[in-house]
Amino acid sequence: MAEEVKSGFVAHLIELRDRLIKSLLSILVIFIAIVYFANDIYTFVAAPLISHLPNTATMIATDVTAPFFAPFKLTLFVALFASIPWILHQVWGFIAPGLYKHEKRMLMPILASSIFLFYGGIAFCYFVVLPIILGFFTSAGPAMLTLAPDISSYLGFVLKLFFAFGVAFEIPVAIMLLCWSGATTTQSLKEKRPYIVVGVFVVAMFLTPPDVLSQTLLALPMLILFELGLILAKFYTAKPQQESEE
């Protein structure tokens, strides 16, 4: 019996290793496919900033290696973001055999919606948040100031915002999973709403750059998504403790 348990554990570790390798390979393949367009990708990401710079202003590189490594780093993150559906597919393939049929039916929409929400958060950040933030920052300084953003600093700023909004938009998924697992209920979350509102602004403070505008633009969608999660969680009841496969 002990040998069977040990062999089963080893088999799970081997499967986990194989799926991790497949996930890393997917990132590598996509990276190789798009690395030729690294400069074009950076130009696209920098477009919201460029559109708000004065005609005489340009972006600069304060490091000799920055013109190469900044687009290279961005392309690697783009490959990672693009690989997320495949990575989640590998996660699903690993955990699905241990689930009941009704659990698979309930979790599949959550998996699909998590991908949609993550990309939706990045798109919201790029098309809505960045133009507002950058328009404010580039016009708030003294008139005699010549703005020349560093490409590496801008990349770090943008990636932090992309990650923050991508993760924050997963709030409905997190709420549905919590309610489905029985860890909490929608009624309990409603009763804790005042504390959650404060917590959302605290989380936004840590996830965004240190300015009130960025924090507010993240906190408000998070609160809306929290309310959406409460609505969707009604369709996910607590998981029964003991069930048998039909």
What pLDDT shows up at residue 80?
Answer: 93
Residue 64 has pLDDT above 90, yes or no: no
Query: Confidence class of residue 242 from pLDDT cuts 50, 70 and 90?
Result: very low
Taking Cα atoms as reference points, which of 132, 118, 121 lies closest to residue 212?
132
Residue 205 has pLDDT above 90, yes or no: no
Alpha carbon distance 152, 133 (integer Å): 18
Q: Which residue has the higher pLDDT, 238 or 142?
A: 142
Alpha carbon distance 166, 126 (integer Å): 11
Long-range contact list for 187-190, CB < 8 A, 24+ apart? 189/230, 189/233, 190/230
Q: Residues with Cβ < 8 Å from 216, sequence gap 6 or more?
A: 204
Alpha carbon distance 44, 191 (integer Å): 44
Q: Record the pTM.
A: 0.82
Alpha carbon distance 77, 225 (integer Å): 25
Residue 246 has pLDDT above 50, yes or no: no
DSSP 127-194: IIIHHHHHHHHHHHS-TT-----BHHHHHHHHHHHHHHHHHHTTHHHHHHHHHHHTS--HHHHHHTHH
Query: Confidence class of residue 41 from pLDDT cuts 50, 70 and 90?
Result: very high
What pLDDT shows up at residue 122?
Answer: 93
Alpha carbon distance 238, 246 (integer Å): 19
What pLDDT shows up at residue 244?
Answer: 44
The structural domains of the chain, with segments of one domain joined by +, span 2-233
Q: What is the pLDDT of residues 90-118, one digit of tens each?
A: 888 888 777 777 777 777 888 888 889 99
Average per-residue pLDDT for the chain: 83
**For 138-157, what is the mean pLDDT?**
79
pLDDT > 70: what percent of the chain? 89
Q: What is the pLDDT of residues 181-201, one digit of tens each?
A: 777 888 888 888 889 889 888
Among 21-25, 80-84, 170-174, 232-236, which stretch is predicted with the lowest mean pLDDT? 232-236
Residue 74 has pLDDT above 90, yes or no: yes
